[in-house]
Amino acid sequence: MKSSLGNVDPRQVEVVVHTGDKLRKDPDTLGIFIFEDETSLPESGGFPGMNAGDFIRKILMQREFTGRLEQAAVAYTVREGTPVRIILAGLGKKADFSPEKLRIAAAAAGKTAQSCRAGTLSLVLDADQLNLDWSTATEAVVEGVFLGTYRFTFFKTLEKEENKPLSTLALHVSGRQHLPPVREAAAKALKICRAVYFARDLVSLPANELTPAALAAKAREQAGRFAKMNVAVMEGEEMERLGMHALLGVARGSGEAPKFIIVNYQGAESSLPPIVLVGKALTFDSGGISLKPAEKMDEMKSDMAGGAAVLGAITAAADLGLRVNLVGLIPATENMPGGRACKPGDILRSMSGRTIEVVNTDAEGRLILADALHYASKYHPAAIIDLATLTGACIVALGERVAGLMGTDDKLKERIKKAAAKTGELVWELPLWEHYHEQIKSDIADFKNSAGRNGGAVTAAAFLSKFAGTYPWVHLDIAGPAWVTKETPYCPKGASGVGVRLLLQFLVDWREGD
């Protein structure tokens, strides 16, 4: 896919790193981070020919800008006779500071620069003063700028021309000894942002553009960029032969043929077992015969956000050359109310041989995941992690900003929680107690695909657990954060790309033995 972006694009913007004394002669826009209610500035905040420190202190004394988190202000001064735009970005209270706060502040600076139609954004970075290591600080800043300024404008024909993208993001650090780690971290962050952009683009595409076949083609296109990454696509005939009747049952009502996308990344010795990532990919979910309400049904193009996250994360792992082995399993189909559609009351035989009573055709995600999770066992994986926009119940329980976490392995769950704490992609564990498993038992089959509203997120996970085998398994219900209904600090309304950075951090930590 060519860039869908009318604004900042990490695939096109030049990122340069300098020491403070080598600030470009004509800085378009200078960005400085400031803690709330503090008048001290980073030591690298003053530059030859521009008395920025005194100028900014006078602004702070006016109290119009206080440095609170997400706050940004624009001021103008002169450097050697040339006007310079200064963006002040608030970090919030110093006692509450974290890399996530820096990411949010960088996003505010980036969005402000974008609104000013700046060509270059020069950010002053002093990780020592922020009490962060230079790599962590750099990644947070680069991610904040690019993730915060993303816009999906692929189908815009009238206003797209008005958007002026950044041409350069410059990072100015306090000493030459910091240049190598900052440059390395900036390059890494750019690759991560590319992967998040890719996932956001996929989720944003309408269902008439992103069919299961088109998603498979996008996966092949991504794999073609990396020697250690390849994609195989299983067609309906082979799914039939393998007995994937849960997946095929969901697909029956659609005129679009289902695809089972298998992504392999061999980054380590072949003797090491892979981590299997499973992503739900309903390229459109009408609810089937159990039809959804018309209101907001258009957003159901986002029901493939789990598959997009898996594909984005593996792409980023390949781009970064992580020393891990990965398998991505992405069952892709539509859920439509056609004449051959699965009906409430039907019984499907899954690939595992276990039978499923379909009591609600809108509980289809767990059906396609059931076959994918069982298929994962053929790899004898070190761990299985699935991501799915699975239940509205999880949004009711945790809201739109938090993913539900459930699983069978405490160590794996803790690894996910640690990764989430680093990336700011929030997760919260929900229990999988035995009585939830009782709720999914069917009177006429092994299981039923819905236990009703009460505890809906947990009973859905209990259902999935029946197909994950004995391998360490974690389920992430991303129904809330996958599609943002209100702009967040570094995500506009719409697709968030949630899960890409979380999975990647998990994989980095796994590689490093954390």
- What are the residue numbers of the active site? 292, 366
For residue 274, count other CB atoms closer than 10 A to its CB.
Answer: 23
Residue (of 390, 363, 383) closest to 477 by Cα position: 390
Angle at CA of residue 240, ends 235 and 245, nearest 5°: 110
Residue (of 327, 284, 271, 378) closest to 503 by Cα position: 327
Contact 178, 127 (CB under 8 A): yes
Burial class (CB in 10 A: 0-12, 13-18, 19+), 191: middle
Contacts of 397 (CB under 8 A, 6+ apart): 404, 430, 457
Side-chain-side CA neighbours of residue 125 (13 Å): 39
As given in the structure block, the two tokens for residue 464 are 């999935």
CA–CA gap between residue 215 and residue 172 (Å, rounded):
40
Pairing of strands 473-477, 403-407: antiparallel
For residue 317, count other CB atoms closer than 10 A to its CB.
Answer: 29
Rg (CA), the chain: 24
For residue 419, count other CB atoms closer than 10 A to its CB.
Answer: 22
Q: How far is CA 6 from CA 106, 115, 151, 162, in A?
A: 20, 13, 7, 9
Pairing of strands 275-279, 82-90: unpaired
